[in-house]
Amino acid sequence: MKRPLTSRTLAILPSANLARRLMAMLYDSFLLLGISFAYGVLLLLLRRLFGDDTMQAPHNSLQLLIMVGWWFFCALFFVWCWRRSGQTLGMKSWRIQLIGENEDTPPKLACWIRTALAPLSFAVFGIGYLWCLVDRNGDCLHDKWSHTRTVVLPKPPKRSKRNPSAS
């Protein structure tokens, strides 16, 4: 049976390196692609229902609202995963977990701040992510600003192989 990690154990775990973070982001980008597709289908159904072409020039405010809605649903995916277990599917695959400053799971506000700042960290030539290469604790800029840490979880113990002839 798997033992849960305590706050004390999480505090001493090393920060995730840049390669692990990027690979988890790659895995999660496939999930975001699915969320984006579902959001697009929802928008298409709404357009058909109202008989309006929302992509025409006079609807600039509507286009902005659509983009904000898309960001919201993508961010909601991350906040929901981080609040549940501290991990997205990509993070589980690469054995990394997001933790709060003083607790196991990060607070809701920290998750929302992180979802707003992480894309900015990546967009500005990746400087926010590259920061983990020079930071003493290995944290990215959005880790610092949201008061969270991304840690590498220990490998699970190997299962012992049962001898089939012993049964």
Query: Does residue 161 form part of some domain?
Result: no
pLDDT band at 94 (very low <50, low <70, confident <90, very high): very high
Domain annotation covers residue 114: yes
In this structure, is residue 77 part of a structural domain?
A: yes
| Percentage of the chain lying above the pLDDT 70 cut | 84
- Residue 166's pLDDT band (cuts 50, 70, 90): low
pTM, whole model, 2 decimals? 0.81
Residue 41's pLDDT is 95
DSSP letter for 15, please.
Answer: B
Residue 93: per-residue pLDDT: 95
Q: What is the span of the domain harbouring residue 86?
A: 12-153
Number of domains in the chain: 1
Residue 147 counted as domain residue? yes
Q: Is residue 21 part of a domain?
A: yes
Average pLDDT over the chain, rounded to an integer: 87
User: Given pLDDT bands bounded at 50, 70 and 90, which one contains residue 2?
Assistant: very low
DSSP letter (8 states) at residue 127? H
The candidate with the shortest Cα–Cα distance to 62, out of 75, 74, 50, is 50
Q: Where are the alpha helices (DSSP H) in the chain?
A: 7-12, 18-50, 60-84, 89-93, 108-123, 127-130, 141-146
3-31 pLDDT, tens digit each: 455 555 556 889 999 999 999 999 999 99
High-pLDDT (> 90) share of the chain, %: 65
Q: How confident is the model at residue 124 (pLDDT cuts 50, 70, 90)?
A: confident
Do 146 and 106 contact (CB within 8 A), yes or no? yes
| 74 close to 85: Cβ distance less than 8 angstroms | no
The pLDDT of residue 3 = 47
Q: Is residue 134 part of a domain?
A: yes
Structure tokens that stand for 112 in this block: 């929302």
pLDDT level of residue 50 (50, 70, 90 thresholds): confident
Q: Is residue 32 part of a domain?
A: yes
Asked if residue 36 belongs to a domain, the reply is yes
- d(Cα 59, Cα 43) in Å, to the nearest integer? 14
Which pair of structure tokens corresponds to residue 100? 């709060």
